[in-house]
């Protein structure tokens, strides 16, 4: 994608969505809690992956947006014995095909990061945040 089109796509995607503070509403928390409880009741484990964000998202996000998201989800993980894998900053900007989607090389970085964290989980029964 040409630079000017990429810049426009990034601005369109992030300039409005991230202007407010991160909000982990009771509804969102409730849905994740219910999903976690159902999985546990079925003998399964939940692992939440924070999807990669284009580095330009930080330019448009309200200050502290991602820090607050990480904090809220880490707390949720600790309270509910859920593993959180943070992949927000795994993909550098040049490995995105647009403002949202990593190219193959970027996807490999994410996959390798998640696989590495999951492999670590197999060696311990405690969630890692």
pTM of the predicted protein model? 0.80
pLDDT band at residue 38 under the 50/70/90 scheme: very high
Angle at 54 between CA 11 and CA 110, to 5 degrees: 155
Q: Which residue has the higher pLDDT, 14 or 82?
A: 82
Q: How far apart are CA 51 and CA 73, in angstroms?
A: 13
At 129, is the pLDDT very low, low, confident or very high (cuts 50, 70, 90)?
A: low
Bridge partners of 86, per DSSP, are 50
94: Cα within 13 Å, side-chain hemisphere: 0
């Amino acid at each position: 994608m040409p630079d000017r089109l990429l810049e426009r796509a990034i601005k369109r995607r992030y300039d409005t969505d991230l202007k407010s503070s991160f909000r982990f509403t009771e509804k969102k928390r409730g849905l994740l809690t219910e999903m976690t409880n159902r999985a546990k009741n079925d003998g399964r484990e939940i692992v939440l992956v924070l999807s990669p964000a284009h580095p330009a998202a930080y330019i448009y996000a309200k200050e502290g947006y991602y820090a607050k998201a990480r904090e809220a989800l880490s707390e949720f993980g600790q309270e509910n014995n859920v593993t959180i894998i943070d992949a927000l900053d795994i993909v550098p900007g040049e490995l995105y095909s647009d403002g949202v989607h990593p190219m193959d090389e970027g996807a490999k970085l994410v996959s390798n990061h998640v696989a590495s964290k999951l492999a670590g989980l197999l060696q311990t029964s405690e969630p890692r945040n």
